[in-house]
Chains A and B, each alone.
Chain A
Amino acid sequence: MAKLLMFHGQECPHCRKMMPRVERLEAETGLRVDRREVWHDEANQDLMRGYKDALKPKCGGQLRVPAFLNAETHDAFCGEVEYETLKDWALRQ
C-alpha cells in the first residue's frame, strides 16, 4: 500500500477543513494517511523539509500546508481541495 503523508498545521484553517475529508477517505477506501503536524513538532518539520524537492514545485515554491505526499513516488499536492479531488489523487497512488 502506498505510504501517504499529510503535513498540516494546528492553526491552519485549510488543514482543519481537510481533516474530516481525510477521515472520510480512510473510512471509505481503507487507505491510511499518516498525519504530521508541523508547527508544534520539530521532527515533523524536519520530515517535511526532507521532501522539499518534491513539495516546493507543487506548492508555489514554498513549504505550504496542508501538503499531501506519496512518500515513495513523491507525487504531491498542496491546499484545500474537495473530497472527490482528494480521493482521486489518493486512489491513483
Chain B
Amino acid sequence: MEKRHWRCFVCNDIHHGVAPPGLCPTCKVPNAYVEVSAAEARRIVGGGADTSLAPDEFRTALERFAAGNEFRLNPDRERVDLLLRGVFENERRYGLKFCPCRVRTKDWEEDLRIVCPCNFTVHETYQGAPGGACWCGLFVRRT
C-alpha cells in the first residue's frame, strides 16, 4: 500500500496516507481532499519558513501526546533532556528525529519506525513488561 499526499481544498490541511479522509478533521468539510505531489505537500506544510519545533515545544508536544494514553513522559528530567538532545542532534544531522538509542539501517521505510515518538507499544520492552517503557526510556507506562 503506497501512501500518497492529499490536500483539503478548503483549509489546506495535508494528509499522508493510502486514501484521503472522508471528513477534514480541521474544517469538517466532507470529501474535501485532492491528491497533490509530495513536493507540493511539503511546500504547503513548510509555509516557506523554518517550521521546526524548539526542544521545549517538542517536549510539550510529547506531553500532550502522552496525556491521552496509558503512558507518560519519563519523570526523570535529566534522562529526557539527554534523549531530546540526541533527537535534535539526529534531526540536525539526518533530517528526522531519530531515536538516539537505535541506528538507521538506511532503508527508508524501516528507518521511519525509529523516528521519535516511535510505535513503542508493540515493543517487548513495553508490551507485557513490568514497568513497561520504550527502548530508550523516554516514555513509561503510567502506574
From B50-58, B60-68, B83-91, the one touching the partner chain is B83-91
- Determine the distance from Cα of A62 to Cα of B94 in the docked complex, in whole angstroms: 18
- Determine the distance from Cα of A14 to Cα of B138 in the docked complex, in whole angstroms: 11
The answer, yes or no, to whether A25 is at the interface (CB within 8 Å) is: no
Residues of B with C-beta under 8 A to A45:
103-104
Chain B, Cβ-Cβ closest to A64:
B102
Chain B, Cβ-Cβ closest to A9:
B100
Given contacts A60-B123, A60-B135, A62-B114, contact A11 B86 (CB under 8 A): yes
Given contacts A11-B89, A13-B137, contact A65 B102 (CB under 8 A): yes
- Determine the distance from Cα of A40 to Cα of B107 in the docked complex, in whole angstroms: 19
> At the interface, is chain B mostly helix, strand, loop or mixed?
loop
CB pair B86–A10 under 8 Å, yes or no, is yes
The answer, yes or no, to whether A4 is at the interface (CB within 8 Å) is: no
Q: How large is the interface on B (under 10, 10 to 19, 20 to 34, 35 or more residues)?
A: 20 to 34
Chain B, Cβ-Cβ closest to A45:
B103
Residues in A lying within 8 Å of B, measured CB to CB:
7, 9-16, 38-40, 45, 48-49, 52, 60, 62-65
Residues in B lying within 8 Å of A, measured CB to CB:
79, 82-83, 85-87, 89-90, 93, 98, 100-106, 113-114, 123-125, 135-137
Selected A-B contacts with CB under 8 Å, 25 pairs: A9-B86, A9-B100, A10-B86, A11-B82, A11-B85, A12-B100, A12-B136, A13-B79, A13-B101, A13-B137, A14-B101, A15-B101, A39-B90, A39-B98, A39-B103, A45-B104, A49-B105, A52-B105, A62-B113, A63-B103, A63-B104, A63-B105, A64-B135, A65-B102, A65-B103
